[in-house]
Structures are given as structure tokens and as C-alpha cells.
């Protein structure tokens, strides 16, 4: 029966792998909605919709840029730095597997869609640095250019045949292109756009901790597709990454609760939500390469630097508002370095880390941990400076005070409807009935 089914298709396509990758793609897409909820809960009520809309916008912008040329720059053969134009506009991306060997058992189209969801969420992640003050129009332009000039380039370096992956750097699901790229770009974006007007003067607090918790939960759920799908099959590395995605965040969460209890005598909910994200990020690069025991150790050890940066950052003048640097940049960097020490050939079938005698692996990982942050920071800094020279990046002080929902979108998240006067609907336009006015 299986043979008959396979005979009708390209011989290498595996139906089980393809089915899993279709599901994994949808799981990763849901993460962007989860991220929107997570971010929206962390800002003030008057900026809820604007914050969520930055993530929603990434669904449109990054998908389109990815289809136009982003995928090609990331995954088509090119040079060490960037791919070519072979797959631009999905040219040659069809039902046969990718000829370069990535996703050898699934249709190229599925591989494209799976990778597109990564570009989307990474673009959405960067918005966390500039929420509550950046104008929506310039953000759209920034998102489009960033997804091409930063994400696609780093995806080529880390996954698509660029100099890091060619040189032997191990990155299972995106410590380079997703986590370090978004984290260090966020730092640059926060520096260029500048702090919110009330930053450091008033307490700027999360307005809905429930959104934050539900968003973190959805992210963790989707992350099983993100990490579990990054082997592009249902093989051993994929299964290892899937289970490690359960183990590491659980250990980070426990560590965070204990750190909270030691520091403040109270375990905070928003801290717990943050810990889930940190744990998922930590295991992202390492998922398919380290043993489950080491994944648990990574969850504990990796939480420490992130916790420290989250405590330290608000005391600085840098309003990197939703701590993308700490939760993604630092955690991604920690995960990348961890592989250099504790990768195990007996588990991953590829390479050992320094702790198992292969010191070269650590060198390769350190190289990625230096080059990626440097490129992401500089490229984002220059890109935003250029956009900023052409148009104002920020809302005015008055608009920022009123709130971005009303000023950018003409809507409010928490509307009572009291006192709203109907101006026009299709019904009133036809009947020409005068609209009741209260004065």
C-alpha cells in the first residue's frame, strides 16, 4: 500500500515527514499570534492594539518579502554571505524536494512555507523594542526591509549554505537567524528610535498579565513545531528536539520561580511567562544536538544570564521595551555556546562538543556568537537611521500620550461604546435618516 502511494509521487517524498511538516508550519504560524498576545499584555492599555498589530503586520509583510526574494536570498545557492535569485517569486519551488538536501523528504513548497513562518515571527519579535512610540507606517517599511536585509542574510549564514553553517557551526532551529538576530536588532532599534517619553519618569506597567501568560503558553505550544520541525522530518534529531522543547523550558521556569522567591519572596506570573520564552529560546539552537539531561541543565544554567539582564536593563537609559535582547538575544547566544560544550555525537550523529573532546566545535559556535550579533546590530542600526532620515520614526509626544491605538489605528481595545455617535453605515446612507445627536 505504501509502495503504491509512493509510486504515484516523486520517489523521495515521505508522507509521514510531509504530514508532520504541514502541521509544524501551522504551529509556528500560531506563535506569531501568541507573541502578539504576549506583547499586548506587557504594554499599557492604550497601546494594546498597536502592539498586537505590529505582530499581525509581520504576517503580511514578511510573508510577501519572503515570497518575493527573501527565501531565495536565504536558501538558494549563492556565495558565503547571501543566496542568489534562483527561487525569487517561488521560481522552481514546487512539489519535488529542495535539491540542496535540506528537507530531502518533503515537497519544496512545504519547506518554503515552514521557513516563511520563521521569517514572520522573527520580524514580529523585533517590534518589542519599539512599541508604544514608533509610528505604524515607518514600522511597516522597517519590517519589510529588515526581513530581507537582516533575516534573509542571517538565515543564509545559519541554515542556507552560508559561511557559518558551511564552516561547521551547529544551529538546529535558529539561534542565529531568529534569536540572536532579533535580540541584537532590538537593541539597535531601541537606541535609534529612542526611549518612550515617560521612560524612567513614570512606572510603565504591563496592563494584562493574563494575556502575557496565555501568549507564553501559545508560544511554547507552537515551539514544538518550531524546534520539532527544524529537522524537516520525523527522524531522531527532530524527536530529540521535540522532547528537549518540553524539558528545557520546564527547567527555566522552575529556576525563574526559585530566583524570584529568593530575590523578592514572591514568584511572579510575568516572570514565569518570561521564563517559558527564555527556556524555549535556549533550546532552539541546541534542540537536536544535546542529550535530554544536558537540555535540562541548559534550562537551569541558561536562565541565569537572562534573569540578570532583565533586572539590569530597566536601570539603564536604553528603553528596549519588552526585553527582546534578554529573552532572545542573550538566551539564543547562551544556547549557541552551550552546543559548543555539550553536543554529543552519540545523540546527534553529527559532532561532539568540547566536553566530549571536540574543541573545534566550540570555536565554530563562538564565531557565530560574535558575528551574528555584530551583523544584526550594525545592519539594523544603519537601516533605521536611513528610514529615519526620510520620515519621522516616532509619534509626536502628544500622540504618544493619548495612546497609539487611537492615534495610529483609530480604534481602542477596551471600548465601552458609551457616548459613541453613529456617523455612517450602509443602512443610514441608503435611508438618509438623520442620525440622532445628543446636543
Partner 1 sequence: MKLVIGIVRPEKANDVLEALYRADVRGVSMSRVQGHGGELERVETYRGTTVKMGLSEKVRFEIAVSDDFVEPAVGALQSGAQTGEVGDGKIFVVPLEQAVRIRTGETDKGAVTPVEGQ
- By the criterion CB under 8 A, which residues form the site for partner 1? 46, 198, 202, 398, 401-403, 406, 410-412, 416, 418-426, 438
Pick the closest to residue 245 from 279, 272, 218, 212 (CA basis): 279
Residue number, 5 or 402, with CB nearest to partner 1: 402
Tell me if residue 300 falls in helix, strand or coil: helix
Taking the complex as a whole, how short is the minimal distance between the CB of residue 39 and partner 1, in angstroms? Answer: 21
Residue number, 267 or 435, with CB nearest to partner 1: 435
Residue number, 10 or 422, with CB nearest to partner 1: 422
Residue number, 357 or 417, with CB nearest to partner 1: 417
Residue number, 357 or 410, with CB nearest to partner 1: 410
C-alpha span between 179 and 18 (Å, rounded):
26
Taking the complex as a whole, how short is the minimal distance between the CB of residue 54 and partner 1, in angstroms? Answer: 19
Taking the CA atoms of residue 324, residue 327, residue 332 and residue 335 in that order, the dihedral angle to the nearest 10 degrees is 170
Residue 356 near residue 294, CB atoms below 8 Å: no
DSSP 254-265: HHHHHHHHHHHS
Residue number, 11 or 202, with CB nearest to partner 1: 202
Residue 100 near residue 77, CB atoms below 8 Å: yes
Residue number, 261 or 401, with CB nearest to partner 1: 401
Give CA angle at 105 (100, 106), nearest 5°. Answer: 90
Taking the complex as a whole, how short is the minimal distance between the CB of residue 331 and partner 1, in angstroms? Answer: 33
Residue 43 near residue 131, CB atoms below 8 Å: yes
How far is the CA of 361 from the CAs of 157, 174, 192, 342, 345, in angstroms?
Answer: 16, 17, 35, 10, 12
Taking the complex as a whole, how short is the minimal distance between the CB of residue 190 and partner 1, in angstroms? Answer: 22
Taking the complex as a whole, how short is the minimal distance between the CB of residue 209 and partner 1, in angstroms? Answer: 20
Taking the complex as a whole, how short is the minimal distance between the CB of residue 206 and partner 1, in angstroms? Answer: 17
Please, where are the H alpha helices in 330-410?
331-342, 345-348, 359-390, 397-402, 404
C-alpha span between 166 and 161 (Å, rounded):
6
Taking the complex as a whole, how short is the minimal distance between the CB of residue 199 and partner 1, in angstroms? Answer: 13
Q: Where are the beta strands (DSSP E) in 262-330?
A: none
Amino acid at each position: 500500500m505504501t509502495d503504491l502511494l509512493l509510486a504515484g509521487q516523486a520517489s523521495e517524498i515521505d508522507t509521514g515527514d510531509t504530514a508532520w511538516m504541514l502541521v509544524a508550519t501551522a504551529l509556528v504560524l500560531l506563535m506569531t499570534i501568541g507573541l502578539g498576545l504576549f506583547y499586548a499584555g506587557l504594554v499599557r492599555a492604550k497601546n494594546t492594539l498597536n502592539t498586537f498589530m505590529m505582530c499581525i503586520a509581520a504576517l503580511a509583510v514578511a510573508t510577501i518579502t519572503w515570497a518575493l526574494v527573501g527565501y531565495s536570498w536565504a536558501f538558494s545557492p549563492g556565495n558565503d554571505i547571501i543566496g542568489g535569485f534562483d527561487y525569487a517569486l517561488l521560481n522552481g519551488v514546487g512539489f519535488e524536494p529542495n535539491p540542496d538536501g535540506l528537507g530531502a523528504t518533503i515537497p519544496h513548497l512545504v519547506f518554503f512555507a515552514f521557513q516563511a513562518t520563521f521569517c514572520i515571527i522573527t520580524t514580529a519579535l523585533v517590534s518589542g523594542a519599539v512599541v508604544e512610540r514608533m509610528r505604524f507606517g515607518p514600522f511597516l517599511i522597517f519590517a519589510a526591509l529588515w526581513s530581507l536585509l537582516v533575516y534573509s542574510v542571517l538565515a543564509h549564514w545559519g541554515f542556507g549554505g552560508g559561511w557559518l553553517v558551511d564552516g561547521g557551526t551547529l544551529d538546529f532551529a535558529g539561534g542565529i537567524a531568529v534569536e540572536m538576530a532579533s535580540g541584537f536588532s532590538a537593541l539597535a532599534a531601541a537606541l535609534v528610535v529612542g526611549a518612550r517619553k515617560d521612560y524612567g519618569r513614570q512606572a510603565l506597567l504591563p496592563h494584562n498579565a493574563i494575556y502575557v501568560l496565555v501568549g507564553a503558553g501559545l508560544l511554547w505550544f507552537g515551539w514544538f513545531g518550531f524546534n520539532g520541525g527544524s529537522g524537516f522530518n520525523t527522524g531522531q534529531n527532530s524527536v530529540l528536539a521535540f522532547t528537549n522543547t518540553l524539558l528545557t523550558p520546564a527547567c527555566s521556569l522552575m529556576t525563574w520561580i526559585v530566583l524570584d522567591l529568593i530575590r523578592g519572596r514572591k514568584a511572579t506570573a510575568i516572570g514565569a511567562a518570561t521564563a517559558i520564552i527564555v527556556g524555549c529560546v535556549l533550546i532552539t539552537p541546541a534542540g537536536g544536538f544535546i542529550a535530554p539531561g544536558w537540555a535540562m541543565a541548559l534550562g537551569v544554567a541558561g536562565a541565569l544570564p537572562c534573569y540578570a539582564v532583565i533586572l539590569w536593563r530597566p536601570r539603564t537609559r536604553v528603553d528596549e521595551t519588552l526585553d527582546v535582547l534578554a529573552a532572545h538575544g542573550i538566551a539564543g547566544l547562551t544556547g549557541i555556546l552551550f552546543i559548543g560544550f555539550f553536543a554529543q555525537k552519540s545523540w546527534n550523529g553529527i559532532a561532539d562538543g568540547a566536553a566530549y573532546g571536540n574543541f573545534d566545535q566550540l570555536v565554530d559556535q563562538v564565531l557565530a556568537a560574535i558575528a551574528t550579533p555584530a551583523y544584526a546590530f550594525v545592519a539594523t542600526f544603519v537601516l533605521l537611521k536611513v528610514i529615519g532620515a526620510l520620515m519621522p520614526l516616532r509619534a509626536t509626544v502628544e500622540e504618544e500620550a493619548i495612546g497609539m491605538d487611537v492615534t495610529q489605528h483609530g480604534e481602542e481595545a477596551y471600548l465601552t461604546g458609551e457616548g459613541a455617535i453613529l456617523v455612517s453605515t450602509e443602512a443610514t446612507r441608503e435611508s438618509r435618516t438623520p442620525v440622532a445627536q445628543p446636543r
